[in-house]
C-alpha cells in the first residue's frame, strides 16, 4: 500500500464513506482500509486473531485438514505451477536454509536420511547412471583436474577409509586381483555375504589353525584380526567365488600365503575346519 493510497483512504473516510466503499475505490478489502487509517486497529486484529486461534486450535486444525483433503489435487497443481515458475526463488531459499541448518538437520536425522538415500539409489540405478554420463559429457576432464588439485587430500582420505574398513578394502582388492588374473568370478552378492560375516559376525573361527595360531582351540577370531582367504589361491588357478572363500586369522593367512592346502603340512595344517565352524 502506497502513501498516496493511504492518504486517499483517510480523505474518503473523512467524507463519510464506509470502509467497504473506500476499499472498492482503492482496490482492497474493508479490513485493510480500517487497519491503515485507524491507529492500533491492525494490532488489535492480530491480537484477536491470536486469541481466537489459541482457543480454537483443534477445530481450526480439523477444518484445515478437511479442506486440504477435499482440495488435494488443486493444492498439488498449484504447488507444481508455483514451483515451475519460481525455480530460482526455491533454489535460493534451499541454499540459505542448508547453509543455516543443513549440518544440524543431517546430524539429527542421519540414519533416516542415509537409509532413504540408499533406497533411492537402489531403485534408481539407471537414472543415476544416465545423470552421471550426462554430467561427465558436459564436464570433460573435471575429475582429472580435481584429482590433480586435491591429490594429497584424496590420498589421505582413501588411506583413512582403508584403515577404518580393512575387510571392505580386502574385498575390493581381491576382486581387482581376480580380474587381473582373469579367473572365474562368482555371484558378487554371495561373495559379499562372506566378507560381511568377516566384518560383523561375532561367531567366527579360523578355518586353518596352523601351528602357533592364537585361536587354535576354537576361540572366536577378534573382528579386527580376520582375513578372508582364497582356499585355492588366485595365483594357483583358484576362483573368486563364495565356495573358494573362508575366514582365517591374520597370522594363519599370512603364513599360508599362495600355497595350496596340501602344501601346509609342515606348518601344522591337519585339514580344513568345516564350513560349519564358520557361522
Name the pLDDT band for 279 (thresholds 50, 70, 90).
very low
Is 33 domain-assigned? yes
- Integer CA distances (angstroms), 238 to 253, 255, 264, in order: 16, 18, 17
Number of domains in the chain: 2
Least confident of 33-47, 117-131, 189-203: 33-47
Q: Could you tell me the residue range of the domain that residue 253 belongs to? A: 165-277
Is 70 domain-assigned? no
Is 67 domain-assigned? no
| Res 31 pLDDT > 70 | yes
pLDDT for 32 = 87
Q: Of 4, 21, 42, which is closest to residue 12 (Cα–Cα)?
A: 21
Name the pLDDT band for 276 (thresholds 50, 70, 90).
very low
Interval 238-242 mean pLDDT: 95
Is 125 domain-assigned? no
Name the pLDDT band for 273 (thresholds 50, 70, 90).
low
Is 180 domain-assigned? yes
Is 140 domain-assigned? no
Is 144 domain-assigned? no
pLDDT for 187 = 94
CATH label of the domain that carries residue 273 = 1.10.30
| Res 278 pLDDT > 80 | no
The tens digit of pLDDT for each residue in 245-264 reads 999 999 999 999 999 999 99
Amino acid at each position: 500500500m502506497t502513501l498516496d493510497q493511504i492518504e486517499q483512504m483517510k480523505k474518503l473516510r473523512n467524507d463519510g464513506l464506509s470502509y467497504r466503499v473506500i476499499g472498492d475505490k482503492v482496490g482492497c478489502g474493508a479490513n485493510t482500509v480500517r487497519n491503515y487509517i485507524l491507529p492500533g486497529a491492525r494490532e488489535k486484529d492480530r491480537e484477536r486473531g491470536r486469541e481466537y486461534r489459541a482457543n480454537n486450535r483443534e477445530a481450526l486444525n480439523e477444518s484445515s485438514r478437511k479442506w486440504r483433503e477435499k482440495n488435494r489435487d488443486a493444492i498439488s497443481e498449484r504447488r507444481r505451477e508455483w514451483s515451475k515458475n519460481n525455480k530460482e526463488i526455491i533454489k535460493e531459499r534451499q541454499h540459505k536454509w542448508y547453509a543455516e541448518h543443513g549440518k544440524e538437520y543431517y546430524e539429527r536425522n542421519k540414519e533416516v536420511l542415509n537409509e532413504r538415500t540408499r533406497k533411492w539409489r537402489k531403485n534408481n540405478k539407471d537414472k543415476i547412471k544416465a545423470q552421471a554420463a550426462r554430467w561427465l559429457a558436459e564436464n570433460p576432464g573435471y575429475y582429472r583436474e580435481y584429482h590433480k588439485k586435491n591429490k594429497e587430500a584424496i590420498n589421505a582420505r582413501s588411506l583413512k577409509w582403508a584403515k577404518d574398513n580393512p575387510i571392505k578394502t580386502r574385498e575390493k582388492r581381491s576382486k581387482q586381483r581376480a580380474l587381473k588374473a582373469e579367473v572365474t568370478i562368482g555371484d558378487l552378492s554371495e561373495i559379499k555375504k562372506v566378507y560381511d560375516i568377516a566384518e560383523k559376525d561375532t561367531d567366527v573361527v579360523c578355518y586353518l589353525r596352523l601351528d602357533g595360531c592364537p585361536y587354535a582351540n576354537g576361540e572366536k577370531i577378534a573382528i579386527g584380526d580376520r582375513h578372508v582367504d582364497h582356499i585355492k589361491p588366485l595365483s594357483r588357478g583358484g576362483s573368486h567365488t563364495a565356495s573358494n572363500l573362508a575366514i582365517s586369522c591374520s597370522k594363519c593367512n599370512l603364513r599360508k600365503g599362495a600355497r595350496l592346502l596340501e602344501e601346509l603340512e609342515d606348518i601344522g595344517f591337519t585339514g580344513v575346519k568345516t564350513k560349519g565352524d564358520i557361522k
